[in-house]
Structure 1
Amino acid sequence: MNTLPIPSFFDTSRVGEIWKVDYAARADQARDWAHQYNLTPASASMDRISLLIIDAQNTFCIPNFELFVGGRSGHGAVDDNVRLCEFIYRNLGNITHITATMDTHLSQQIFHPIFFVDKDGNHPAPYTDIHADELRAGKWNFNSILAPNYQIAPEYGQQMMIHYAEELERKGKYALTIWPYHAMLGGIGHALVPALEEAIFFHSIASLAQPDFEIKGDKPFTENYSVVGPEVLTGPMGETLGSRNPKFIQHLQEVDRLYIAGQAKSHCVAWTVSDLLDDIQSTDPKLAEKVYLLEDCSSPVVVPGVVDHTDAANEAYVRFANAGMQIVKSTDVI
């Protein structure tokens, strides 16, 4: 099918803002759109083209929210979402399925300040990296006041923290990073960006395709950058901290193409794709050719004067391309 025009209600100037989606109006317009352009239900399509949108939530994508992904331009996620919305609208008749992942957190988790204290009872500042040797030396300790919440001894809580940091180092991952409180379940930051939520809803009505929403990151003792699985699966005594999700490799086997976009390119996108690539290589390396990375719809974490993950994100994409994945732009014809 040829690409479609962008609906007149889509306003690029509002993509970086919070507002209420008018579902009733959009549903009526979507039905009219389907009639006007002879859209058939996604279930009747000969081609199975899926879109995976990673963590396109207000907390990452709206300026002045907790972890806005500005990239080096300073407005990366907003520009990315303009292009991503337009990609959905242009390819409304081509995309047969959309999944949106939702980073989902509570206050007491291993990457939030409340989980650690120093000898004076102070919590680490956001963007502090905590290393195994610092935990062993007692520079940072598990916040023992939280131990009853998890029915563990305070000493075992510290043992868990050391084990976790050692596992990250053994795997060559980033250090355990303390992030600002973000993507809080029940909060406005957890919600999808309204412009993108609207595009997904419009697609679901016009194509009669129910979107999926995948929760990740709600386990207290492990990070979950990747929707495929947590950073560390087991604790020091072999207890389960989180589990790997086989849904995505199974989905890839069922579709003709899987497009991937979202935030942040350097973290949740890169690690999701990396984990998916691990599953691909253990299942069928040729499946990598079905994966299309929308490079102009994702930006890396950049905190001016603190950290810049642009180069690491770009290196990851080179690795993905070398494995057979396609690096494309949102304006490329499907």
Structure 2
Amino acid sequence: MSTITQLPIPTHFDPYKVGEVWRVPYQTRAIEAKAWANQQGLTPATDDRFRVCLLAIDVQNTFCIPGFELFVGGRSGTGAVDDNVRLCEFIYRNLGKITTIVATMDTHSAMQIFHSVFWVNQAGEHPPAMTMISLEDVEQGVWQANPAIAPDVTQGNVERLQAYALHYVRQLNQHGKYLLTVWPYHSMLGGIGHALVSSVEEACFFHAIARQSQTQFEIKGGNPLTENYSVLKPEVLIDHEEQAIAQSNTPLLERLLTYDAVIIAGQAKSHCVAWTIDDLLTGIQATDPVLAQKIYLLEDCTSPVVVPDVVDFTEQADAAFQRFVDAGMKVVRSTDPIEQWAGMRF
């Protein structure tokens, strides 16, 4: 086994600031990162013989900062903040071993199928956040698509909008997905909630300069007609007329599978993380099931959606991770030396 060579954590990292929003001092960090690389003997990522990708899913303010729209507290109430302290420390300790960081960005606008303005009842009222809309609700007219948004969603065709709304919840029902959830407006493009958590952004930037490896960003979730929990595939791909409305992110899937190891962290374990891994597993099984063995899940850098007295997805998240392990993936902890993980060959 390789010698364990965890790096010290740079002095600029402050774990007590992880739950806050602030401006990263890029120029200062760039100078420090270059000096840190020289001091620690780090080489450019292009020299890596064993190539490692860290896939950081939706590590954005909207999910990770207390008081923001969809803070993922987990059962502890501080889940995402604690997760990101460990994620930042993991990046810094393993700066010389992480070849590439890929950050996914949940990206929304107001008029999308999972936001209140998309739906109305017979009184013209919008559903409150966290309303679950079932197939029966739409079939019985409890909720219908809001005709006023048709110009922005279906080129003014109200009939098509209503037909699609029914088709959408029917597709979710047929494929065993979660009920359509009306989420609070979140991760809005152009807003503060959309940005990466400042401490994580700083760690990614520091890695980019120290290893001369550009952080890669994957935008998802902008299609008004479908949810997009997974960065690899929207929930619904075709409309009620069998026309394509979206497509799978095959280029990212293929790129991830070129790495010798892919490490996955982020939010939320029960939703965007679990469904991204599920789609990754589907792609792996269609290619070569053995490839699942090079996927590592950072269990202490992700938390499930828990809204006290409303919903708790902890058990579903844990069941999904067990299924991934059964398929050959590995659940690991960020605090354990990466050289000790089975399959790592530095």
Shorter-chain TM-score range: over 0.9
- Indicate if the aligned counterparts of 1:6 and 1:90 stay in contact, CA closer than 8 A: yes
Gaps of 5+ in 1: none
* Residues 268-302 of structure 1, C-alpha deviations (whole Å, 9 max, x = no match): 00000001101111111011001000000000000
- Indicate if the aligned counterparts of 1:252 and 1:287 stay in contact, CA closer than 8 A: no
| Partner secondary structure for residue 102 of structure 1 | strand
Aligned: 1:225 with 2:236: no
CA distance in 1, matches of 2:244, 2:118: 19
- Indicate if the aligned counterparts of 1:252 and 1:290 stay in contact, CA closer than 8 A: no
* Residues 55-109 of structure 1, C-alpha deviations (whole Å, 9 max, x = no match): 0000000000000000000000000000000000000000000000000000000
User: Offset of 1:253 from its aligned partner?
Assistant: 2.6
Q: Which residue does the alignment assign to 1:117?
A: 120
Over aligned residue pairs, what C-alpha RMSD do you find? 0.8
Aligned: 1:325 with 2:332: no
Q: Which residue does the alignment assign to 1:54?
A: 57
User: Offset of 1:133 from its aligned partner?
Assistant: 1.2
Q: Which residue does the alignment assign to 2:133?
A: 130
* Residues 25-44 of structure 1, C-alpha deviations (whole Å, 9 max, x = no match): 11111011000011000001
User: Offset of 1:249 from its aligned partner?
Assistant: 2.7
Q: 4+ runs of 1 displaced by more than 2 Å?
A: none
Q: Which residues in structure 2 correspond to 1:48-127 (within 5 Å)?
A: 48-127=51-130
User: Offset of 1:239 from its aligned partner?
Assistant: 2.0
User: Offset of 1:132 from its aligned partner?
Assistant: 1.1
Q: Which residue does the alignment assign to 1:277?
A: 281
Q: Which residue does the alignment assign to 2:257?
A: 253
Gaps of 5+ in 2: 339-346
CA distance in 2, matches of 1:239, 1:13: 49
The one-letter code sitting in structure 1 at the alignment partner of 2:83 is D
User: Offset of 1:248 from its aligned partner?
Assistant: 3.2
Aligned: 1:7 with 2:10: yes
Q: Which residue does the alignment assign to 1:16?
A: 19
Q: Which residue does the alignment assign to 1:198?
A: 202
**TM-score, structure 2 length as denominator?**
0.95
The 10-residue stretch of structure 1 (193-202 or 163-172) with the greater mean CA deviation from structure 2: 163-172
- How many aligned positions are there? 334
| Partner secondary structure for residue 220 of structure 1 | coil
* Residues 238-279 of structure 1, C-alpha deviations (whole Å, 9 max, x = no match): 122211011233123311100000000000000000011011
CA distance in 1, matches of 2:81, 2:15: 9
* Residues 133-185 of structure 1, C-alpha deviations (whole Å, 9 max, x = no match): 11111110100011122214212211111111011011101011000000000
**TM-score, structure 1 length as denominator?**
0.99
Q: Which residue does the alignment assign to 1:157?
A: 161
